[in-house]
Amino acid sequence: MQNLTSGELVIQVVAMPADTNANGDIFGGWLVSHMDMGAGVASRRRANCRVVTIAIESLNFIKPVSVGDTVCFYANLLKVGRTSMRFKMEAWTLSLQDTLPKKVAEGIFIFVAIDEEGRPCPVDRD
Ligand SMILES: CC(C)(COP(=O)(O)OP(=O)(O)OC[C@H]1O[C@@H](n2cnc3c(N)ncnc32)[C@H](O)[C@@H]1OP(=O)(O)O)[C@@H](O)C(=O)NCCC(=O)NCCS
């Protein structure tokens, strides 16, 4: 279903004029950065330690985002490895014109739990 959000709401923000591209829509890099931050919030909470992005495996921009839309970022934890966590991230917009939320982007983000020296450490520790 295109109008059903899923996962944990990790960031909610209004898209501003400063975030636009040359077409006047919201810049794709702004969306990616928020999806990355959202996965960072969820992975940090899951591992309860520092985390870093190691890979973005896929990314699809589905619909353009307009200035003034509220953009909601959802994190779905797909898999926990020894030191890594794999998330499906989704971005959805709410606008004053549309009654239903619209999925505008989705992607797979991989995070790694790291210790104080920046080395991978187990997600689940005693
Ligand atoms: C993240 C980092 C500490 C990992 O170090 P590393 O020695 O390469 O780690 P490993 O090879 O042991 O891999 C760690 C985990 O990531 C997984 N992994 C490694 N490369 C991957 C890739 N390209 N895609 C998906 N998973 C990957 C491994 O399978 C392993 O998972 P597991 O422990 O759950 O089995 C290091 O690569 C790094 O510091 N990268 C820069 C991170 C960064 O600056 N990110 C951007 C800003 S946050």
Q: Decide if pLDDT at 1 tops 70.
A: no
Return the pLDDT at 3.
63
CATH of domain 8-114: 3.10.129.10
Return the pLDDT at 6.
83
Which residues lie with the beta carbon below 6 Å from any ligand 1 atom? 52-55, 81-84, 110, 112, 114, 118, 120
Return the pLDDT at 10.
98
DSSP 26: B
Note the pTM of the prediction, 2 decimals: 0.95
The per-residue pLDDT for range 21-64, each reduced to its tens digit, is 999 999 999 999 999 999 999 999 999 999 999 999 999 999 99
Residue nearest to atom 22 of ligand 1 (CA): 55
Return the ligand 1 atom nearest residue 52 CA.
48
Return the pLDDT at 97.
87
Residue nearest to atom 9 of ligand 1 (CA): 120
Which conformational region is residue 118 in: left (phi greater than 0), alpha (psi within -120 to 50 degrees), or beta? left
- In the chain, domain spans: 8-114
7: buried, middle or exposed (CB in 10 Å: 19+, 13-18, 0-12)? middle
Residue nearest to atom 41 of ligand 1 (CA): 54
Return the ligand 1 atom nearest residue 118 CA.
3
Residues of the chain above pLDDT 70, percent: 98
Q: Decide if pLDDT at 126 tops 80.
A: no
